[in-house]
């Protein structure tokens, strides 16, 4: 069965520190997609990145970077030089393109960046 685990419930860091959010997934399919979303206090889920199972290249976007490792079924998210505006709940999600494309979300990691 599909499953996404975000073991870190809450993380607090001081501004400018680097922080890594962990995501471990389970799936039997060879083709799947992984996502990260940010949920600020306003409540709206904001799309950050999509990664397909055939592309293990790490990706960097500004202060954000993602490390996808199929060998450990992990898709970790690192924020470099964190800022107060990064404070939010971050969700990792898994989707299989066959069938309904529905997402399975993890339970989220609440990141607090302190000034």
| Look-up of token digits 């997609």 | 33
Q: Are strands 88-95 and 109-114 parallel, antiparallel or unpaired?
A: antiparallel
Q: How far is residue 88 CA from its own chain's centroid?
A: 12
User: Which 47-66 positions form the footprint of another protein (CB under 8 A)?
Assistant: 47, 50
Q: Does position 108 bind another protein by CB under 8 A?
A: yes
Residue choice 33, 65, 80, 112 for contact with another protein (CB under 8 A): 33
Q: Does position 3 bind another protein by CB under 8 A?
A: no
Angstrom distances, CA of residue 41 to CA of 7, 53, 89, 106, 111: 21, 31, 8, 18, 11
Instruction: Please choose, out of 23-31, 69-77, 80-88, 94-102, the segment that lies near another protein by the rule CB under 8 A.
Output: 94-102
Q: Which residues bind another protein (CB under 8 A)?
A: 4, 33, 35, 37, 42-47, 50, 91, 93, 95, 97, 100-103, 105-108
């Amino acid at each position: 069965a599909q499953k996404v685990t975000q073991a870190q419930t809450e993380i607090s860091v001081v501004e400018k520190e680097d922080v890594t959010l962990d995501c471990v997934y389970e799936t039997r399919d060879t083709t799947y997609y992984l996502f990260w979303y940010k949920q600020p206090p306003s409540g709206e889920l904001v799309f950050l990145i999509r990664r397909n199972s055939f592309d293990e290249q790490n990706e960097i976007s500004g202060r954000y970077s993602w490390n996808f490792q199929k060998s450990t079924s992990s898709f970790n998210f690192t924020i470099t030089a964190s800022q107060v505006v990064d404070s939010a709940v971050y969700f990792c999600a898994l989707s299989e393109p066959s069938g309904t494309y529905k997402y399975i979300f993890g339970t989220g990691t609440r990141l607090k960046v302190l000034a």
